[in-house]
Chain A
Amino acid sequence: MKSSPRFTRLLWVVLLLAVWEITRRLSSASVLAFPSVAMVAGRLVELLATGLLMRQVAVSLGLISGGLVLAALPAGVLVLVSSRVRWVDSLLETMVTLFHPLPGIALLPVIILWFGIGVEAVMVVIVHSVFWPLITNLRAGREAMPAVYRRVAENLGMSAADSFCRITLPAVTPYLISALRICWARSWRALISAEMVFGAVVAGGGLGWFLHSRRVFMDTTGLFVGLVVIMAVGVFVEDGVFRFVESRTVRRWGMNP
């Protein structure tokens, strides 16, 4: 039934935790380098109780969503324009080729010089990490749409807006979703590394700052809590957001990606 893959996943998680715990018990490493499962669980409860951790998760998610929106809107518009205007398309392609391979962290020194170390700088890092893959995927989706779709729309006498909403958009949706998946993962990385460099960009900071402060105060157990929380948020977004959106769109439309 539906719960079985989840059950198996749970089984794997339990096994991995068991491996962790066994390794802990066999190892002579200091608990400062390698805390036990119970220690991490206890610390997780403690940190959740203070409410600070949840606030930091919220800050991180807020920054990421902001960056995603800031990147997705111009990316969408540009790809749309580029499908009509050939030189925009070739410009986009050139820029993707040039900028996509640049890791955000490599740009940090320049970003600090141009944007300082505030929220703007973090946004630039996130937008950079998200913008290029988004464009690549949207263009791929557009290319992959069979030409016959467009001709059908023309034959039916659909208006441009109608044809976009009912033909093009559904056709690129699987690409859009997979692009957002990639962007989500990349923006996490960008945010965490930026925060570990800049410090708290907003009062209280996000998860990157949480990890950094756990590290400098040698709270290794807390450090693992931060990693667990990042994984948990990742699972939640994958299952709660992407799978959900997929089941409501492309799966329902019968176009299993």
Chain B
Amino acid sequence: MKHRPGKAEAKPIAGVTLCILLILSCGGDSQEHRRTRRDDAPVLRIAEQFGLAYAPLVLARMRGYVEDELPGYSVEWSRLGNATAIREAMIAGRLDIGFMGIPPFLIGVDRGTPWKVFCALARMPMGLATTRADRSTFADLDDSDRIAVPQPGSIQHILLAMAAERSFADAARFDDRLVTLAHPDATNALLSGAAVTAYFAPPPFLQRLTAEPGVSVILTGDEAFGGPFTFIVGVSASGDHPSELVRYAVVRALDRATEALRDDPTAIDDLAGAFEIPTEELREQLMTEGVEFGGTVRGVGRFVSFMHRVGYLEREHAESMLLIPPAETP
């Protein structure tokens, strides 16, 4: 029996191709449509994550500071679980401003996005916490240890790699031993024993851990980095989007929120409600040494050169190309 391969299917294949092409052409149209509609009503889309570092952002959202500074704009807020989700939303064109650690931002730029850092959100004391009495220093960690970080490529992972390079001359030493856990899960996993040996925690998780008996911090963020650095930065979708006017309005709104957190006791009350923790506890956390909001962006250069040297980045980016200098007061 001689079957002419494919001949019987030639018609359906041609038909399907035609349908797909039709669908594609429709898709193009609707995209155009969306673009015009967006131009009519200016919208600013901002994403935050969870944690103490986002305190000024959360307060600015709650009190409408960005809206105050940007009359005529409607501001859309979203909260995503991690930097990866924020990056993906930015690539998909669904976000104008995202807040994330410096390394996730650098990975994005390295892959070819036109993103720029336009402000520092916060500096935070971070610590590698462990419950194991036999791991009293970072150098005690060995191949049997598993370390929880929010994501590979996160600021916690890169700090770990920096410390690993210093202590073991091998930045990738723990890369195969990472456990990807969101902060609350990592906190529970560490306290429940067995699963993870250590966890690189930012506030408020670090304070929650150190309050428990038997938890020790064997490495701080600053030790790992070799100095102070900005924990979370504001990233704009490109150098000219959103516009300088918009970016500057966001910075002013954040400054206002930071001032309110310092001077206005009701601000901490509001925030404590949003964070679902007692006001006193939040006040204490905000007073912790090393917690600092706003200011200049620090540490980009060192992150770039380290991540490039050990292979997390393909190119060595000039710091000046990554930062938008702070706008002058108009």
Find the residue from B3, B108, B112, B177 having the highest chain A CB count within 10 A: B3
| A30 contacts B by Cβ under 8 Å | yes
Contact B6 A7 (CB under 8 A): yes
Contact A26 B195 (CB under 8 A): no
If A32-B91, A205-B176 touch, whether A1 touches B24 (CB-CB below 8 Å) is: no
Interface size on A, residues (CB 8 A): 39
Contact B3 A200 (CB under 8 A): no
Q: Which of the segments A78-86, A127-135, A169-177, A215-223 contacts the partner chain?
A: A215-223
CA distance A198 to B113 in the complex (A): 29
A239 to chain B, nearest CB (A): 17
If A116-B195, A219-B111 touch, whether A15 touches B16 (CB-CB below 8 Å) is: yes
Interface residues of A (CB under 8 A from B): 1, 3-4, 7-8, 11-12, 15, 18-19, 22-23, 26, 28, 30-33, 112-113, 116-118, 196-200, 203-205, 212-213, 215-220
Residues of B near A4 (CB, < 8 A) are 3, 5-6
A216 is contacted by which of B1, B2, B112, B151 (Cβ under 8 Å)? B151
Contact A218 B108 (CB under 8 A): yes
B195 is contacted by which of A32, A117, A219 (Cβ under 8 Å)? A117
Residues of B near A200 (CB, < 8 A) are 176-178
| B134 contacts A by Cβ under 8 Å | no
Contact B189 A117 (CB under 8 A): yes
Contact A33 B91 (CB under 8 A): yes
Query: Smallest CB-CB separation from A11: which chain B residue?
Result: B6
| B211 contacts A by Cβ under 8 Å | no
B180 is contacted by which of A30, A31, A116, A212 (Cβ under 8 Å)? A212
Residues of B near A32 (CB, < 8 A) are 91, 111-113
B186 to chain A, nearest CB (A): 10
CA distance A15 to B87 in the complex (A): 32
B305 to chain A, nearest CB (A): 18
Contact B152 A213 (CB under 8 A): yes
Residues of B near A219 (CB, < 8 A) are 111
| B179 contacts A by Cβ under 8 Å | yes
**10 A/B residue pairs, CB under 8 Å, sorted by A:** A3-B5, A11-B6, A12-B13, A31-B112, A32-B113, A116-B194, A198-B180, A204-B176, A212-B152, A220-B111
| B17 contacts A by Cβ under 8 Å | yes
Residues of A near B87 (CB, < 8 A) are 218
B79 to chain A, nearest CB (A): 19
| B107 contacts A by Cβ under 8 Å | yes
Contact flags B1-17 to A (C-beta < 8 A → 1, else 0):
11101100100010011
Residues of B near A118 (CB, < 8 A) are 195
Residues of A near B181 (CB, < 8 A) are 117, 199
Contact flags B85-123 to A (C-beta < 8 A → 1, else 0):
001000110000000000000011011110000000000
CA distance A205 to B153 in the complex (A): 16
If A1-B2, A204-B176 touch, whether A216 touches B111 (CB-CB below 8 Å) is: no
Residues of A near B80 (CB, < 8 A) are none
A37 to chain B, nearest CB (A): 15
B175 to chain A, nearest CB (A): 9
CA distance A214 to B322 in the complex (A): 23
Residues of A near B31 (CB, < 8 A) are 28
Query: Smallest CB-CB separation from A12: which chain B residue?
Result: B13
| B62 contacts A by Cβ under 8 Å | no
CA distance A72 to B179 in the complex (A): 29
Residues of A near B152 (CB, < 8 A) are 212-213, 216-217
CA distance A113 to B188 in the complex (A): 9
15 more A-B residue pairs beyond the given contacts A1-B1, A11-B9, A117-B189, with a C-beta to C-beta distance below 8 A: A1-B2, A4-B3, A11-B6, A15-B17, A28-B31, A30-B112, A30-B113, A32-B91, A117-B179, A117-B195, A199-B181, A203-B176, A205-B176, A217-B107, A217-B152
